[in-house]
Amino acid sequence: MIAIINGKRRKLDVHPMKRLLDVLREDCGLTGTKEGCGEGECGACTVLVDGVAVDSCLVPAAQADGCAIVTIEGVARARSGRALQDAFVKLGGAQCGICTPGMIVAALPLKAGASLDEIKTALAGNLCRCTGYLSIFRSVQAGLRPSREALRPTRKTRVKGKRANAR
Amino acid sequence: MGRAVGANVRRKDGDAKVTGAAKYIDDISFPGMIFGATIRSTIPHGEIAARHVKLPGGFVVADYHDIPGKNYVALIDPDQPCLAEHIVRHVAEPILLVGHADRPRLIGLEQQVSFEYLERAPIYDPEASDTCFKRISIDKGDLDRGFAEADVVFEGEYRTGHQEQLYIETNGVIAVPGDEQMTVYGSLQCPYYVHKALVVLLGLPPGRVRVVQTETGGGFGGKEEYPSMLACHAAILARKAGRPVKMIYDRVEDLLATTKRHPSIIRHRTGVTRGGRITAMDVEVVMDGGAYATLSAVVLSRGVIHASGPYRCDHIRIRGRAMLTHTPPNGAFRGFGAPQTQFGIEAHMDRLADEIGIDPVKLRELNALKPGDTTATGQTLGKDASALPVLREAVRRSGFREKRRKWRGTTRGIGLSLFFHGSGFTGGGEVKLASKASLELTARGARILVASTEIGQGTRTMHAQIVADALGVPFDDIDVHEVDTDFVPDSGPTVASRTCTIVGKLLERCARDMRKRLGRLSPADYFKKHGSFTVTSQYEPPPNLLWDDEGYKGDAYGSYAWGCNVVELEVDPATFEVRPINVTAVAEIGKAIHPMMAEGQIEGGTAQGLGYALIEEVVMRDGRMANAQLTNYIIPTPLDAAPMKVVMLERPYAYGPFGAKGVGEMPIDGPAPAVINALRHCGYDVRSIPATPERLMNAPRQKAEGKRQKAG
């Protein structure tokens, strides 16, 4: 298969039915994409194929032939990607971190100023067991609006103080 | 003082996790590494009559004959074999191990490897089981006298189901064999548990076994004891193959074979005066342990100690037992017995309030434990006992009373739960553990050496904050050594809400000792002049902390954290689906070392608790999990996330680091009863969880079968 992976043209000699997830992890050494369930339920293996978020555990290599693929390792190539990554660190969107690459990649196609409902819908196929999702929503909201104000980490959490809530 | 503690510093592991650079176990490989798989029993109980193994060359096969040491997973009781010899006690019990260099060759081995069994009758009902792993009794005061003082005696039975931890990273390890030695890398919570199991299994001296934790994608108790089993398997194969062996479970195997939360049956008989004062509590707790003892005795212990809830009562009897059934062993899961028993008491409290015609808040206010009161085990609470403050805060913040009035008779309901959670090991547990922590001087600050694992909760960051402030250096100058038993001392397991309050305290002491030795020099100057040194501290119980394990009396925990949840929800009267629409979670945790991460624990634990209450159902059919996949074992998704208001209160614990208590487990104690009480407010009488639409549809629409009788 030939694909543009994180901006680089790659020619790979793989079985056409090999899962894209395994092609990325084993043949390209891009282990940032994770496997959580292997059946398209958890979204840990989310990558962008031609700009669309897909579960790479369900995509055979042949189907990604000729496509542009973005994995977590390529997210930082765009400023918006770096802002999302930074927000996930600063606002607690990443805890154990295993769902984080998929979450960030799934949020990448969102437009700046996306509503909470749009964010929830974009992330609907991604499971997290640590956070209860609220800090992930806050991270995505802030990451999509990368002003200095939005990324101040102490803004939202104060002990026994009123705080804004995702709703 | 206090520049790092209390601030939301940047978490140490954050950048590696958001860039994909963090290395989890399946991201690692070794030269010559092969892959391992486990062949498991397909029946719940019986004798292995014959083994048929027809594998071509290239496969490595191992069974119990290949174990050089003892064939059990060393933990508490030596009852669980690492590989079954003649008897199997549950579906998915490991019997045989197979290794191959080509991973796909390990799929679908059922054709080539099979067993014949002489089946025996399985037992699935814990109350019908004749094998008891552990019985615990708690007695306080004189129960008869308590019931004689009551105007009303009220009973109820409550049931909870299994729950799967469902860390998104499945269990996995790599065993690397050496000359008379073994190293295991893995996704795990308790490196020294794994170390102990390997020493017993391999018959090697402790110094020849090494365990290294890799970045761990969630644990929630699910990686407390099970990794010992998996590490043993990989080590057996690695020893036989003479090559490194990687074993990673797929989701189905992880769900079928690994531990879950104990299902329970909780029965209450309570004496109460007309005015609402509780005079007697008689509680029975039955836990389904599954096929082997694992941690059931300790889960039961925490369960019974919390079974009478955060309430004051002079006359209490609690009887608990953990029973054997022929299902995969149940084990550790966040909360560890307390979510089950506090579901029982908190669902019972609302029914009791209905019975005597009193407001549920009022009933709790009248009976909540206050400073100076004694718990069921007779522990006198210090001035940080916070049941009333959390209750009042939650009621006020949520507008509980007004919504309760306004929504009556609608499809909306609001309910609350009041709960507490002991920090650290129970009773004399911490003294027996005798945990150690070390701190090493470096060229710019200090390096933390502990066996406490980072599993998402923020261990590395929180420990570094404590050390930074106690040593008086910037947070960034504190490093954390990777968890590797060749380098870090045994700080005990990363469980029981003990990582901050117990191990954090040890580190605080190390840092203060180091500070003293540095004199007026900065770490950098001292290092330049005299070189490095290491300070170690070992657990010592706070003064006057006494526990009698025979009588189950005394100070069960050094401190308790306190919580109150209010859940607002909406029931679809056509489909019986329940949607939480708002949650208020108030938690008193002593001191929030990193407020954002503490809040993350509360939000995450509460969400897990809502899943436990409403949708997470393990369906057991003939001893086998019938829904062992994420398609039909469902957990909350982003679309299920209810808005949440988290409020943290701080009443410092005198012997915690900077006043901190435990925070990790408590958040999962409260959501389930608050949900059930909100459903009761809507008119649904549900007494078991999960409250699935099917269960709700069949629930009685008016209240209470509980018996009402005049005492005396």
Q: Does A141 lie at the interface with B, CB-CB under 8 angstroms?
A: no
- Predicted pLDDT at B111: 86
Nearest chain A alpha carbon to B218: A96
From B257, B287, B319, the end of a domain falls on: B257
Q: Per-residue pLDDT for A44 more than 50?
A: yes
Q: Per-residue pLDDT for A98 more than 90?
A: yes
Rounded CA-CA distance B187/A97 in Å is 13
The CATH number of the domain holding residue A93 is 1.10.150.120
From A46, A74, A102, the end of a domain falls on: A74
Q: Using the CB atoms, write b or e for B423-454: b if 16+ within 10 Å.
A: bbbbbbbbeebebbbbbbbeebbbbbbbbbbb
CA atoms B487, B489, B494, B498: torsion sign: negative
Mean pLDDT for A65-85 is: 96
Domains in chain B: how many in total? 3
**β-bridge mates for residue B449, sequence order:** B438
Tell me, yes or no, whether A86 and A99 share the same domain.
yes
Q: Per-residue pLDDT for A165 more than 80?
A: no
Q: Is B220 left (phi over 0), alpha (psi -120 to 50) or beta?
A: left
Rounded CA-CA distance B445/B472 in Å is 10
Other CB atoms within 10 A of residue B537 CB: 20
**Residue A129, in any domain of the structure:** yes
- Predicted pLDDT at B110: 82
pLDDT, tens digit (0-9, with 9 covering 90-100), for B364-414: 999 999 999 999 999 999 999 999 999 999 999 999 999 999 999 999 999
Contacts with B, A 14-73, CB within 8 Å: 25, 30-39, 41-42, 44, 71-73
**Residue A150, in any domain of the structure:** no
Tell me, yes or no, whether A68 and A7 share the same domain.
yes
Give residues with Cβ within 8 angstroms of A13, minimum separation 6.
none
Other CB atoms within 10 A of residue B546 CB: 12
* Closest-CA residue to A19 (of A11, A9, A27): A27
* Token digits of residue B363: 């009933």
Tell me, yes or no, whether B497 and B529 share the same domain.
yes
* Closest-CA residue to B185 (of B30, B22, B15): B30
Tell me, yes or no, whether B435 and B512 share the same domain.
yes
**Cβ pair B14:A89 closer than 8 A:** yes
Q: Using alpha carbons only, what angle is made at residue B671 by residues B668 and B674, rounded to the nearest 5 degrees? A: 150
pLDDT, tens digit (0-9, with 9 covering 90-100), for B584-602: 999 999 999 999 999 999 9
Rounded CA-CA distance B463/B22 in Å is 20
**Cβ pair A98:B217 closer than 8 A:** yes
Tell me, yes or no, whether A67 and A84 share the same domain.
no
* Token digits of residue B560: 């308790």
Nearest chain B alpha carbon to A122: B638
**β-bridge mates for residue B586, sequence order:** B564, B647
The CATH number of the domain holding residue A12 is 3.10.20.30
**What domain range is A43 assigned to?**
2-74
Give residues with Cβ within 8 angstroms of B348, minimum separation 6.
B154, B156, B158, B268, B270
**Cβ pair A98:B596 closer than 8 A:** no
pLDDT, tens digit (0-9, with 9 covering 90-100), for B7-61: 999 999 999 999 999 999 999 999 999 999 999 999 999 999 999 999 999 999 9
From A20, A40, A74, the end of a domain falls on: A74
**Cβ pair A34:B168 closer than 8 A:** yes
Tell me, yes or no, whether A104 and A48 share the same domain.
no
From B471, B504, B538, the end of a domain falls on: B538
**Residue A138, in any domain of the structure:** yes
The CATH number of the domain holding residue B603 is 3.30.365.10
**Residue B543, in any domain of the structure:** no
pLDDT, tens digit (0-9, with 9 covering 90-100), for B159-170: 999 999 999 999
Q: Which residue has the tokens 């980072």?
A: B454
Rounded CA-CA distance B591/B559 in Å is 12
**Residue A45, in any domain of the structure:** yes
Q: Sort B531 into a burial class: Cβ within 10 Å, 0-12 / 13-18 / 19+.
A: exposed
Mean pLDDT for B299-324 is: 98
Tell me, yes or no, whether B287 and B138 share the same domain.
yes
Tell me, yes or no, whether A43 and A94 share the same domain.
no
Mean pLDDT for B128-153 is: 98
Asked if B230 and B186 touch (Cβ cutoff 8 Å), the reply is yes
Return the residue in A96, A117, A127, A162 with the most chain B beta carbons within 10 A, the one to mutate for interface testing: A96
**Residue B333, in any domain of the structure:** yes
**Cβ pair B592:A159 closer than 8 A:** yes
**Cβ pair A129:B599 closer than 8 A:** no
- Predicted pLDDT at B133: 98
Tell me, yes or no, whether A69 and A88 share the same domain.
no
* Token digits of residue B573: 């009267």
Return the residue in B10, B19, B27, B261 with the most chain A beta carbons within 10 A, the one to mutate for interface testing: B19
Rounded CA-CA distance B123/B44 in Å is 9
**Residue B1, in any domain of the structure:** no
* Token digits of residue B539: 């657990």
pLDDT, tens digit (0-9, with 9 covering 90-100), for B224-271: 999 999 999 999 999 999 999 999 999 999 999 999 999 999 999 999
Nearest chain A alpha carbon to B219: A96
Tell me, yes or no, whether A47 and A22 share the same domain.
yes
**Cβ pair A137:B637 closer than 8 A:** no
**What domain range is B216 assigned to?**
32-121+166-257
Asked if B415 and B679 touch (Cβ cutoff 8 Å), the reply is yes
**Residue B547, in any domain of the structure:** no
Tell me, yes or no, whether B208 and B86 share the same domain.
yes
Return the residue in A56, A95, A104, A121 with the most chain B beta carbons within 10 A, the one to mutate for interface testing: A95
**Cβ pair B19:A85 closer than 8 A:** yes
Q: Per-residue pLDDT for B672 more than 60?
A: yes
From B210, B238, B257, the end of a domain falls on: B257
**Which pLDDT band holds residue B1 (cuts at 50, 70, 90)?**
very low
Domains in chain A: how many in total? 2
Return the residue in B13, B15, B18 with the most chain A beta carbons within 10 A, the one to mutate for interface testing: B18
Tell me, yes or no, whether A33 and A95 share the same domain.
no
Tell me, yes or no, whether A83 and A132 share the same domain.
yes
**Residue B548, in any domain of the structure:** no
Mean pLDDT for B633-654 is: 97
Return the residue in A134, A138, A139, A140 with the most chain B beta carbons within 10 A, the one to mutate for interface testing: A134
Tell me, yes or no, whether B38 and B179 share the same domain.
yes
Rounded CA-CA distance B340/B306 in Å is 9
**For the residues of B215-248, what is the DSSP string, one character each?**
B-S--TTTTTSHHHHHHHHHHHHHHHHTS-EEEE
Nearest chain A alpha carbon to B587: A160
Chain A residue numbers touching B216 (CB-CB < 8 A)? 96
**β-bridge mates for residue B156, sequence order:** B268
From A38, A55, A74, the end of a domain falls on: A74
- Predicted pLDDT at B314: 98
Q: Per-residue pLDDT for B440 more than 60?
A: yes
* Secondary structure in 3-state letters for B549-584: CCCCEECCCCEEEEEEEEEEEEECCCCCCEEEEEEE
Rounded CA-CA distance B381/B653 in Å is 11
Name the average pLDDT for chain B: 96
Q: Using the CB atoms, write b or e for B347-363: b if 16+ within 10 Å.
A: bbbbbbbbbbebebbeb
**Which pLDDT band holds residue A147 (cuts at 50, 70, 90)?**
low
Q: Does A167 lie at the interface with B, CB-CB under 8 angstroms?
A: yes
Among B18, B600, B650, the residue with its CB nearest the CB of A131 is B600
* Token digits of residue B179: 């000359």
Other CB atoms within 10 A of residue B615 CB: 20
Is the complex ipTM more than 0.90? yes
Tell me, yes or no, whether A16 and A58 share the same domain.
yes
Q: Does A78 lie at the interface with B, CB-CB under 8 angstroms?
A: no
**Cβ pair A159:B166 closer than 8 A:** no
Q: Per-residue pLDDT for A154 more than 50?
A: no
Nearest chain A alpha carbon to B397: A162
Rounded CA-CA distance B104/B598 in Å is 42
Q: Per-residue pLDDT for A149 more than 80?
A: no
Tell me, yes or no, whether B617 and B705 share the same domain.
yes
Rounded CA-CA distance B221/B333 in Å is 4
Question: Closest Cα of chain B to A119: distance in Å?
Answer: 9
pLDDT, tens digit (0-9, with 9 covering 90-100), for B63-118: 999 999 999 999 999 999 999 999 999 999 999 999 999 999 999 998 899 999 99
Rounded CA-CA distance B9/B477 in Å is 13
**Residue B545, in any domain of the structure:** no
**Residue B27, in any domain of the structure:** no
**Which pLDDT band holds residue B705 (cuts at 50, 70, 90)?**
very low
Q: Is residue A103 within a helix (H) or strand (E), and if so which, with residue range?
A: helix A100-107
Asked if B269 and B305 touch (Cβ cutoff 8 Å), the reply is no
- Predicted pLDDT at B702: 61
Tell me, yes or no, whether A112 and A128 share the same domain.
yes
* Token digits of residue B480: 């954390």
Chain A residue numbers touching B580 (CB-CB < 8 A)? none
**Residue B114, in any domain of the structure:** yes
Tell me, yes or no, whether B391 and B517 share the same domain.
no
Tell me, yes or no, whether A69 and A85 share the same domain.
no
Among A38, A73, A124, the residue with its CB nearest the CB of B637 is A124
